[in-house]
Structure 1
Amino acid sequence: MSLPPGFGRKGEIRVCKLHKSLYGLKQASRQWFIKLSTALQDAGFHHSKSDHSLFVRTHGNSFTALLVYVDAIILSGNNLQDIEEIKAHLTRQFKLKDLGELKYFLGIEIARSKKGIALSQRKYALEILDDVGYLGAKPVNSPMEQNLSLSRDEGEYVKDPSSYRRLVGQLIYLTITRPDLVYVVHILSQYMDKPRTPHLEAAHRVLRYLKQTPGQGIFLSADSPMQLNAFCDVDWARCRDIRRSTTGYYIFLGHSLISWKRKKQTTVSRSSAEAEYRSLALACCEVTWLRYILNDLKVNHSQPVKLYCDNQAALHIASNPVFHERTKHIEIDYHLVREKIQDETIKTFHISTSKQPADVFTKSLGLLQFSNLLRKLGMINIFFNLRGSVKENMQDSRND
């Protein structure tokens, strides 16, 4: 903020004392959240300890949850009268715009039916295609060629690396509802500092896959059982540059996919069993956090979480507390898996590699296996009609 010309004498140093935060300053968002939190606490809400952007309130038999992202708010509950009272309370404090039933939030499209809720980012996907000029591209059925291996040292450098970085950044946000893209986007994001031609070609293939399925998304079933099931897998030392393994996991609530992640491990693992054990630990941490979230939402989950892994050696390490050569070099914090097994928070199971749904996170698969795993993940495209053709109108989408 600059002082107006002519204010004060020449050479005199003066500053402004702000009585309230201005939009755009570093502390503005913090001050806004403090003010909003105070207003919500006055209405009887309290912070969730597991997610600070979640506020919950219990009043008799009624339960209300409020989720905040900067100045966008989602309000839900089992009592319509309580929801209206909260809206009136916030209206007295702030200038609000009630958008009604949730249909579009931060680029995510929400479609409801009696069977459940479908989440997709079709409009955002079409905007990416339009931005890059791929609306007329020839579509493909998979986001990455099977067994493709990228490296930092092969191919010529891209002339305009900023365009590559912009594209990968857009694709990263698209993975919020597209777990089928997580593997390839994670690979491409590793080369954003110095992208080469093979990396750009792989990114363009992702765009051609988006042209085939712009409305693909996840489905949250209305009659799904309240049982957490986790599947974890690892891509052992496949990275040709640093040889670190990569963890991938999926977590289901009943039949609905609610959490997924692919992350490169911080150290090099000497064996696949060690890498799988670290993957178990990361999935275990996520499961523990989800149990806290369910508790805040008043969802009872007293039974152990089922954690599936396709590596027998890792499962034996997790269940066997005996110290031996294979685990003495593993950091202490990874042994939390044993602790969770002993207190019956989780229960581990073996799953065949051919039935492991987390493979879509750790490998570049063929079309048949890739399609089968997507069905297991509960991914759907609500923009397909009964014949299987896409109800797309690219020109109308650009005008939305």
Structure 2
Amino acid sequence: MFTRQVANKLVIVLVYVDDLLITGSDTDMIEQLKCTLNSKFKRKYLDIGARGARPSPTPLEQNNNFFDALDTKCLKQNEEGMPGKVHMEATLRVVRYIKKNPWQGIWLDSSSTCGLIAFCDSDWSTCPISRKSVTRYYIKLGNSLISWKSKKQNTVARSSAEAEYRSMAMTTAKLIWLSGLLNELGVKRDHPAKLFCDSKTTL
């Protein structure tokens, strides 16, 4: 992420691999930055065309299951583009939600402790096609959220306990990596990392 602030004017550039998202409070500074990028690199600017869209009160519909769309695609081979359409509609809903709540963000608490706390869970055999489970976790440094993930597991779990165990293993690996990073940065932690799971069988 690159941030430039001049007086009360702010421009933020988010970079992911070869994709950039440019936003800010001053359109002139944004245009200057785009001209600078155009002089150095070959760029293509995309616009989703949602400026006149109606704001959404929530980022996603309740109980929305994207796997159902994939399952429908497999059953109806003559309907092309079904998963892409469903996912695009969900993406536009998130954009419309941000439009209504432009100041939403993740607040980092400077006065909290420096202990790592993780919470993990899994959905057993969520995908109706591959029967693979989905791991979800989020990790906090004190009261501040610093890492989160939702990812399909690599192998098929034969029980809900196995799915939960794999979820804990993935979260533990992330905790170890974050612990090493904090050590390199010289951050002293108050206590060892804590991992919470809702499966008594796995524990």
Fold-level similarity (TM above 0.5)? yes
| CA distance in 2: counterparts of 1:229 and 1:131, whole angstroms | 39
Contact 1:144-1:202 within 8 A present in 2 as well: yes
TM-aligned CA deviation for residue 304 of structure 1: 1.8
TM-aligned CA deviation for residue 122 of structure 1: 8.9
Contact 1:232-1:280 within 8 A present in 2 as well: yes
* Counterpart selection for 2:80 from 134, 157, 168: 157
* Counterpart selection for 1:132 from 32, 39, 48: 48
- 2:126 is the counterpart of 1:219: no
In the TM superposition, what are the counterparts of 1:187-226 in structure 2 within 5 Å?
Answer: 195-226=83-114
Instruction: Specify the code of the residue in structure 2 equivalent to 1:148.
Output: N
Alignment partner, residue 14 of structure 2: 107
Alignment partner, residue 161 of structure 2: 273
Quote the RMSD (CA, aligned, Å).
3.1
Instruction: Specify the code of the residue in structure 1 equivalent to 2:72.
Output: E
CA deviations over 1:266-288 (Å, ceiling 9, x no partner): 00111111111111111111111
In the TM superposition, what are the counterparts of 1:64-103 in structure 2 within 5 Å?
Answer: none
Instruction: Specify the code of the residue in structure 2 equivalent to 1:313.
Output: T
TM-aligned CA deviation for residue 133 of structure 1: 1.2
TM-aligned CA deviation for residue 201 of structure 1: 2.6
| CA distance in 1: counterparts of 2:119 and 2:22, whole angstroms | 27
| CA distance in 1: counterparts of 2:159 and 2:195, whole angstroms | 21
Identity value in percent:
45
Structure 1 residues 222 and 240: CA distance shift in structure 2, 3 A: same
Structure 1 residues 153 and 235: CA distance shift in structure 2, 3 A: closer
Structure 1 residues 230 and 201: CA distance shift in structure 2, 3 A: same
Of structures 1 and 2, the larger Rg is shown by: 1
Structure 1 residues 134 and 268: CA distance shift in structure 2, 3 A: same
| CA distance in 1: counterparts of 2:80 and 2:190, whole angstroms | 54
| CA distance in 1: counterparts of 2:121 and 2:151, whole angstroms | 11
| CA distance in 2: counterparts of 1:281 and 1:296, whole angstroms | 23
TM-aligned CA deviation for residue 254 of structure 1: 0.5
TM-aligned CA deviation for residue 157 of structure 1: 2.6
- 2:130 is the counterpart of 1:242: yes
Question: Gapped runs of 5+ residues in structure 1?
Answer: 1-68, 75-97, 109-120, 159-193, 316-400
TM-aligned CA deviation for residue 250 of structure 1: 0.8
TM-score, with structure 1 as normaliser: 0.38
Alignment partner, residue 63 of structure 2: 147
Aligned positions, number: 168
TM-score, with structure 2 as normaliser: 0.71
CA deviations over 1:240-272 (Å, ceiling 9, x no partner): 221211111111110001111111100011111
Question: Gapped runs of 5+ residues in structure 2?
Answer: 16-20, 25-29, 31-45, 74-78
